[in-house]
């Protein structure tokens, strides 16, 4: 008998997402990392949004906002539907 833990293999879409060069290592660290990994991931996403604003101007800021709007609506809807 051995005390090693075997984890299930990752699905293909997760491997492809982790292989994406810009955000893949950030996502992998947020998933596998320690307690502060999620906070650092959120900070990195905010900094990427700021850099997009500097590089692309208002279009970069609006692109981030267009991505966040459906996420916030889904979050609010989830709170309304699943809270007792």
Which pLDDT band holds residue 22 (cuts at 50, 70, 90)?
confident
Q: What is the pLDDT of residues 55-79, one digit of tens each?
A: 999 999 999 899 899 999 999 999 9
Coil, helix or strand at residue 9: coil
Contact 33, 44 (CB under 8 A): no
Q: Burial level of 59, CB count in 10 A (0-12/13-18/19+)?
A: exposed
Which has more pLDDT, 20 or 32? Answer: 32
Alpha-carbon torsion angle 31, 36, 41, 46, nearest 10: 160
Which pTM does this prediction carry?
Answer: 0.59
Which has more pLDDT, 84 or 72? Answer: 72
Q: Name the residue among 67, 63, 38 with its Cα closest to residue 50.
A: 63
């Amino acid at each position: 008998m051995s005390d090693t833990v075997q984890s299930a293999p990752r699905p293909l879409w997760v491997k492809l997402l982790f292989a994406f060069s810009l955000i893949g290592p950030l996502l992998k660290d947020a998933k596998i990392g320690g307690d502060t990994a999620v906070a650092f991931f959120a900070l990195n996403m905010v900094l990427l949004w700021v850099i997009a604003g500097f590089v692309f101007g208002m279009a970069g800021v609006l692109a981030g906002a267009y991505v966040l709007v459906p996420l916030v609506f889904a979050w609010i809807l989830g709170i309304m539907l699943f809270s007792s």
